[in-house]
Structure 1
């Protein structure tokens, strides 16, 4: 639980720096720098890959996942430059909802009525946050609504790949393909970063990798169903950092919608854990 709480704090801090840097340069360029520099940080992990990892690699599926994830990353960075951090976090937590739907469609997993209701509830929570028809919907919120299913289906593809490939291979190929996907758009909007901006970009890449390592360590030493609820502390961290750094005060609708999304994702996580135990 400690490692998962730390993961949430790291990711919330990462989001704050992304928001700061996205105000200084195009979000697409920031997304490219995050993954290209992150790929450099992952060189020791990539060097640990064996020859059989490359022979067993399902490159078409890796490419499909990388393209979808790369588009999602660019939309996510765009959303970070437009809407409050807490709102990005709230809508982003609908990704497990879409992952559950994707698992049913692509992996043949059974999806029962209770899970369908949880999916509907999670989507309803996202609409409570953005309130279409009752408030002006920011393009950033629309970008996040597109991002969430892309990230959800990316997780499903990862699960498919992990059946025959190693963890380092799945992570390494994702970083490589996302870097390639974001390269062209980044060149189109490129502006030479200052020394300070290079420093912030390196910090973003470092924190992103550190957050993933903390999350993987939490999953390694404890059951996912035990630590999953702690992950939702990221909403609190995001709201606090957004308020302290940018003066963003989440609306009551953000909190209400967040609560609905969290309950939905938590219920799905619990049902997945129960299904694995045969309950």
Structure 2
């Protein structure tokens, strides 16, 4: 009887998983983030990175006011506020670095280097949370780092401050995700997103005021659309994870590099760099293989638990 009930539960879970919908949601997410990249690249260096980032997040806060106010009224669980603040600091630094790099590097190159985020999260989780870093995980990390070396090609070309800035951005975003993982047991997903927007906006404000430049209505409009695209991208990604396993949706993220390459070629006249495509493909392959394997292990564990 218990075995039969376990089988029914597993069948219901399988029915709930809709891989085609997950892929479509992830495609929409990727297109939304390509829109973010296109607009920030188009804005260029006319505005300081911190100011552009502040305006983008300020618009995001406006969009999220209906969520932020109830979170502030409800208060925080013990220990949550320092984690919110720590995440805000890490994400603020990462955003400044990313805006600086995005305005100066080819779109595809920024996208490829950004694929390092999950690998850095894996390493951080092992160092900070004691998660097991087995042989296959270590191999995936090593392969992904090889892909990053192919993208950057140190020693074969001069690396600019923008390249280093994007590596710092990837590291900062990874730290932000680790804070979010710790917060997931203390606050709701809505509260975590709302507090991130509020903390990053406040964190960016002093840096933006240090070198504030006049802003045109066109620039304000573009940054408002950036905020809308970013919010849409995160929403679509959440929907993708809700309806399909990450083993299905993760490989789709490689298309973001393809679209970024086409965007750079057709809109900004950037050449196609085969090393960037190769390195990006290696990184996402390593991530996808590791995600697929861990999904199989979780599925086996669920089947065993259901059979007991």
TM-score for both structures, normalised by structure 1: 0.95
> Is 1:8 paired with 2:34?
no
Alpha-carbon distance, 1:55 to partner: 4.1
Q: List runs of 5+ in structure 2 lacking aligned partners.
A: 1-22, 302-308
CA distance in 1, matches of 2:114, 2:45: 21
Residues 84 and 250 of structure 1 are in contact (CA less than 8 Å); yes or no, is this contact kept in structure 2? no
Q: Tell me what 2:192 maps to.
A: 170
> Is 1:31 paired with 2:56?
no
Bigger-Rg structure (1/2): 2
Which is worse superposed, 260-269 or 84-93?
260-269
CA distance in 1, matches of 2:119, 2:190: 26
Alpha-carbon distance, 1:57 to partner: 6.3
Residues 10 and 211 of structure 1 are in contact (CA less than 8 Å); yes or no, is this contact kept in structure 2? yes
- 1:151-170 map, 5 Å: 151-170=173-192
Residues 91 and 148 of structure 1 are in contact (CA less than 8 Å); yes or no, is this contact kept in structure 2? yes
Check 1:128–1:84 CA distance in 2 against 1; reply closer, same or farther (3 A cut): same
> Is 1:118 paired with 2:140?
yes
CA distance in 1, matches of 2:294, 2:162: 31
TM-score for both structures, normalised by structure 2: 0.86
Check 1:15–1:185 CA distance in 2 against 1; reply closer, same or farther (3 A cut): same
Count of paired positions: 279
State the secondary structure of the residue aligned to 1:54. coil
CA distance in 1, matches of 2:123, 2:135: 12
1:20-55 residue CA offsets vs partner (Å, 9 max, x unmatched): 113321122111111111111111222453855534
State the secondary structure of the residue aligned to 2:71. coil
Q: Tell me what 1:232 maps to.
A: 254
Please point out which of 270, 274, 279 is paired with 2:292: 270
CA distance in 2, matches of 1:111, 1:130: 26
Aligned-pair RMSD on alpha carbons? 1.6
Residues 44 and 104 of structure 2 are in contact (CA less than 8 Å); yes or no, is this contact kept in structure 1? no
Check 1:276–1:139 CA distance in 2 against 1; reply closer, same or farther (3 A cut): same
CA distance in 1, matches of 2:121, 2:58: 26
Residues 86 and 239 of structure 1 are in contact (CA less than 8 Å); yes or no, is this contact kept in structure 2? yes
> Is 1:21 paired with 2:39?
no
Check 1:203–1:151 CA distance in 2 against 1; reply closer, same or farther (3 A cut): same
Check 1:231–1:61 CA distance in 2 against 1; reply closer, same or farther (3 A cut): same
Q: Tell me what 2:244 maps to.
A: 222
Which is worse superposed, 21-30 or 163-172?
21-30
- 1:74-153 map, 5 Å: 74-153=96-175
Residues 77 and 186 of structure 2 are in contact (CA less than 8 Å); yes or no, is this contact kept in structure 1? no
Alpha-carbon distance, 1:95 to partner: 0.4
CA distance in 1, matches of 2:294, 2:52: 35
